[in-house]
Structure 1
Amino acid sequence: MSVVWRASDEVLGRDVAVKVLAAQLAADAEVLRRLRDEARAAAGLRHPNVVEVYDYGESASRPYVVMELVDGRSLADLVAGGPLPWKPAVVIGAQVAAALAAAHARGVVHRDVKPANVMVTAAGAKLVDFGISATVGAVDGQDGRVLGTPAYLAPERIAGGPVRPASDVYALGLLLYLVLAGRAPWPASTVTQMLRAHVYAEPDPLPPVPGMPAVVSRLVRRCLAKGPGDRPSAAEVADRLGELAGLPPAKLLHVPETAEIGTSLAAGPTVAQRRRPVLPAGHRRVVVGALAALGL
């Protein structure tokens, strides 16, 4: 769909990431809308665990999004060699949950929570790629396609239900299970087997992890409940895991916007000027210090 370049902002003297739509898709109105929606969704979130969007524009009829450059490794790369120690896994899970809680509070559902869309840096985890995000209550297109990655689709999404925050929490539960166990909660090697497992199979219990509090296993199992109403909210997951990791409550990490943004995306390429939010120094030291202590 697109190519992401590392670029240099010659005016402000900083490196950025520029996501450019592939040339063969530039005439596809649906793809253009999706890229603009991604920019609008991410730009409306002001949270330290969400990648920041700086601008949206077009060059030679090809749209692009200018984003914060995240130097780090994807969570998918980190778990390729096996499960993570439980403490770093809990820190990452808490921060991804906090990012989702901020999105859900604004009525945005990510719809593609998975290890490849989580970047881990020395300063913490960042949730990226809001390319198929949608507003709460939205439904998939009339063509019957369900947007998302099969390995992380909630049962209600497979059944064609509307977009809801609980679907992100289900995917978060699968992500947590993977980083703690090094595998999925059920055997499935094909897309059909994955979809059947989401709907019908009960997840295997998490294998014993030395030193890990039992509350983590219980929380993961609640996230993987088949019924959306039986799952915790992303904010609850963030607070419970954050408490175990020694992080401040998720609500303290949520930085409110200082200016209304996003409306200019519909009118043109320039995003309304806004002041960069600053995480209070004490909270920032707690987060960075906790990650350093865990070897991240």
Structure 2
Amino acid sequence: MQTLAGRYQLVRRIGVGGMSEVWQGHDRVLDRPVAVKIMAPAVEGTLGEAGVDLIRTEARSAARLAHPNVAGVHDFGTSRGACHDVPYIVMELVDGQTLSTHLRAGPLDWRIAARIGAEVAAALAAAHAEQVVHRDIKPANIMLTPAGAKVLDFGIAAAIGARDPDPDGMVMGAPAYVAPERFEGSPATPAADMFALGTLLYQCLSGRLPWRAETPTGMVRAACNEEPDPLPPIDDLAPEVAALCRLCLNRHPDDRPTALVAALVLAEAVDARVYVPMGGIEPAPMAEWIDAPTGRANPDRRASERRW
């Protein structure tokens, strides 16, 4: 059984991604279970020091967020590999299943979808308050646990306003959840995360993506040029939830709500509680941003949002 830094025993592999593996581990010093994210053997030799920097950046981004809806980071280090130092992150071991696993059975009850959306939005509000944009919000990166939703994988997170390392290269993130402006070269902003949240919420409510396309390229083209399909009829769906979903999917980033607004609107719709960074500011009433009886955006919402 492999042990990292003489402390973290790797027990069994529980996840595999494009660049990394996640293992269930055991912290021998504190005698507790942990999750260990380590560079996949297939890529560790090709990235070298850049791979160490990438994993270190992820660890620092997540470690800045002490929030109940973000998987906590305990440690970062490197372990000597065959040819290179292999970076790893030690994280909270989250007990649950990913949202993508749950969605295989079809759409969720709208109240559950709204609660998940509220908790993900609250996590994003905390990240944005720390000037961090996640850039990869999607069902596979949301873990549903008995204590609520947890946002995982800050592997491609960036500082607000940061541009991609290669402006002419591939845009970071899963194409179906990437905001249209990102394909036009715009830097990472909180509004891009909100587009991804809108896509995720739409998928939870309807069981499918907001645009119909056969290929990732077709999905990108549709999101950049077409309006999303209307949500199907959903019994008793709160109009403000439908409105919030629609506004998050707006092609214009300035017309999307903030994560803080989304968290509070969705939580109020299902009478849930979320932890959001208020910064000492008293929030404006929901009615100033979304008209609950009609579910339509308040025409003065931009002025209202500046107060948050």
TM-score of the alignment, normalized to the shorter chain, above 0.5 = yes
Q: Deviations 1:59-79 (Å, cap 9, x if unpaired)?
A: 112111000001101000001
1:193 is the counterpart of 2:218: yes
1:85 is the counterpart of 2:109: yes
- 2:189 maps to amino acid: R
1:41 is the counterpart of 2:61: yes
Q: TM-score w.r.t. structure 1 length?
A: 0.83
Partner in structure 2 of residue 181 of structure 1: 206
Asked if the contact 2:52/2:86 (under 8 Å) is kept, the reply is no
Going from structure 1 to structure 2, the CA distance change for 1:23 and 1:36 (only over 3 Å counts) comes to same
Q: Deviations 1:177-200 (Å, cap 9, x if unpaired)?
A: 000000111211201111101100
**Helix, strand or coil: the match of 2:114?**
helix
Asked if the contact 2:133/2:193 (under 8 Å) is kept, the reply is yes
1:247, CA displacement in angstroms?
2.0
**Helix, strand or coil: the match of 2:123?**
helix
Partner in structure 1 of residue 133 of structure 2: 109
Partner in structure 1 of residue 260 of structure 2: 235
Aligned residues: percent identity? 52
| Unmatched segments (≥5 aa) in structure 2 | 1-18, 280-308
- 1:138 maps to amino acid: A
1:172 is the counterpart of 2:197: yes
Asked if the contact 2:119/2:274 (under 8 Å) is kept, the reply is no
Asked if the contact 2:69/2:149 (under 8 Å) is kept, the reply is yes
Q: Deviations 1:184-218 (Å, cap 9, x if unpaired)?
A: 11211201111101100101111111111111111
Asked if the contact 1:3/1:21 (under 8 Å) is kept, the reply is yes
Partner in structure 2 of residue 288 of structure 1: none
Q: Deviations 1:26-74 (Å, cap 9, x if unpaired)?
A: 3413332211110000001010000000000011121110000011010
Q: Deviations 1:207-233 (Å, cap 9, x if unpaired)?
A: 111111111111100000000000000
Which of 102, 121, 131 is the aligned partner of 1:97?
121
Which of 148, 152, 155 is the aligned partner of 1:131?
155
Q: Deviations 1:138-195 (Å, cap 9, x if unpaired)?
A: 1112352211111111001111111100000000000000000001112112011111
Asked if the contact 1:57/1:63 (under 8 Å) is kept, the reply is yes
Partner in structure 2 of residue 73 of structure 1: 97
1:160 is the counterpart of 2:193: no
1:51 is the counterpart of 2:71: yes
Asked if the contact 1:239/1:250 (under 8 Å) is kept, the reply is no
1:23, CA displacement in angstroms?
3.0
**Helix, strand or coil: the match of 1:26?**
helix
**Helix, strand or coil: the match of 1:251?**
coil
Which of 209, 218, 222 is the aligned partner of 2:247?
222
Asked if the contact 1:49/1:99 (under 8 Å) is kept, the reply is yes
d(CA) in 1 for partners of 2:265, 2:30 = 39
Higher helix proportion, which one?
Answer: 1
d(CA) in 2 for partners of 1:128, 1:77 = 15
Going from structure 1 to structure 2, the CA distance change for 1:153 and 1:248 (only over 3 Å counts) comes to same
Q: How many residues align?
A: 254
d(CA) in 2 for partners of 1:239, 1:2 = 34
Q: Which moved more, 1:66-75 or 1:2-11?
A: 2-11
d(CA) in 1 for partners of 2:104, 2:199 = 15
1:245, CA displacement in angstroms?
2.1
1:6 is the counterpart of 2:24: yes
- 2:53 maps to amino acid: R
Going from structure 1 to structure 2, the CA distance change for 1:246 and 1:108 (only over 3 Å counts) comes to same
1:253, CA displacement in angstroms?
9.6
Asked if the contact 2:118/2:274 (under 8 Å) is kept, the reply is no
d(CA) in 2 for partners of 1:145, 1:54 = 31
Q: Deviations 1:92-150 (Å, cap 9, x if unpaired)?
A: 00000000000000000000000000000111000000000000111112352211111
Partner in structure 2 of residue 270 of structure 1: none
Partner in structure 2 of residue 280 of structure 1: none
Which of 236, 244, 255 is the aligned partner of 2:269?
244
1:252, CA displacement in angstroms?
7.0
Q: TM-score w.r.t. structure 2 length?
A: 0.80
d(CA) in 1 for partners of 2:246, 2:275 = 21
Q: Give the root-mean-square deviation of aligned CA atoms.
A: 1.5
Q: Larger Rg: 1 or 2?
A: 2
Q: Tell me which of the two structures has the higher relative contact order, counting C-alpha pairs closer than 8 angstroms and 6 or more residues apart.
A: 1
d(CA) in 2 for partners of 1:115, 1:24 = 25
